[in-house]
């Protein structure tokens, strides 16, 4: 019984420390820039041990007031059109994805911008149950503590936008030689078009598929009410 009690006590200590650290980090990142993400570290290791890859980490945090309004509008239109209305989860999209997965159909993921932000800031790539459980926990936490504007600001600053390129400012500089605040509608839509696979696709060398996505995103941007963030 003594061993069981000690194990149980140790388990609850771990839970308490996890809650303290996770809530503390979420509160901290509500106000300060995220310095590095697990994905950035993982990519650096991959690049270091792959002779065919260049070691590269480019990121430059900018406040949402210094990001073109078109950037937020483009990812809003492309990734999560219910972003302003849901509380971190798009249950309708999740249900559709579940039903199509059972039928063996390849469909767009049901992750919201909040979930994608959480995955980048706090977690590692993967699809196991532990990662999914932690994703749900942090999604609830972020939605409770961060306003939507902050979620969008963090998302636009940490999301992978190319090999070794993270955030909208680094993407704007790399692909268009300008600051994020100066991105026009076409450029913002093109960057958003490659986000499903920024390692494979490049805004400077768009495939017919990416050009089609850009056109679709621009159409959606015109159909949606302005998101109201940024410039």
pLDDT of 83 > 70? The answer is yes
CA distance 217 to 200: 19
Q: What percent of the chain has pLDDT over 90?
A: 73
Which tokens in the block code for residue 32? 């300060």
pLDDT of amino acid 108: 56
33-223 CATH:
1.10.3810.10
Tens digits of residue pLDDT in 7-43: 888 889 999 999 999 999 999 999 999 999 999 999 9
Cα 191 from Cα 206, distance rounded (Å): 10
Q: How far apart are CA 24 and CA 132, in angstroms?
A: 21
For 104-120, the pLDDT digits (tens) are: 655 556 789 999 999 99
User: Domain segments of the chain: what residues?
Assistant: 1-32, 33-223
The residues, any chain, with a CB within 8 Å of residue 112's CB and separated by 6 or more, are 79, 80, 82, 83, 86, 88, 89, 90, 139
Q: Who has greater pLDDT, 72 or 49?
A: 72
Distance of CA 184 to the CA centre of its chain: 21
Q: Phi/psi at 183 (nearest 5 deg)?
A: -65, 135
| The pLDDT value given to residue 230 | 62
pTM value is 0.91
Q: What is the pLDDT of residues 175-214, one digit of tens each?
A: 999 999 999 999 999 999 999 999 999 999 999 999 999 9
Q: Which of the pair, 23 or 5, is modelled with greater confidence?
A: 23
């Amino acid at each position: 019984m003594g061993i069981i009690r000690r194990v149980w006590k140790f388990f609850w200590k771990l839970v308490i420390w996890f809650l303290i650290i996770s809530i503390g980090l979420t509160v901290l990142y509500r106000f300060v820039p995220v310095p590095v993400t697990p994905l950035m570290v993982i990519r650096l290791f991959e690049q270091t041990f792959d002779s065919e890859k260049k070691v590269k980490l480019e990121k430059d945090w900018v406040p949402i007031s210094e990001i073109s309004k078109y950037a937020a509008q483009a990812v809003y239109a492309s990734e999560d059109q219910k972003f302003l209305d849901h509380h971190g989860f798009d249950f309708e999209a999740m249900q559709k994805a579940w039903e199509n997965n059972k039928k063996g159909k390849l469909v767009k993921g049901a992750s919201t911008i909040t979930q994608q932000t959480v995955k980048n800031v706090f977690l590692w790539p993967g699809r196991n149950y532990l990662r999914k459980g932690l994703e749900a926990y942090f999604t609830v936490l972020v939605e409770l503590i961060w306003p939507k504007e902050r979620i969008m600001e963090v998302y636009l600053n940490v999301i992978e936008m190319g090999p070794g390129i993270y955030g909208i400012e680094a993407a704007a500089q790399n692909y268009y030689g300008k600051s994020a605040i100066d991105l026009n509608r076409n450029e913002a839509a093109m960057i958003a078009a490659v986000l499903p696979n920024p390692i494979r696709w490049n805004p400077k060398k768009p495939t017919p598929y990416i050009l089609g996505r850009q056109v679709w995103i621009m159409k959606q941007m015109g159909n949606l009410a302005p998101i109201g963030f940024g410039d």
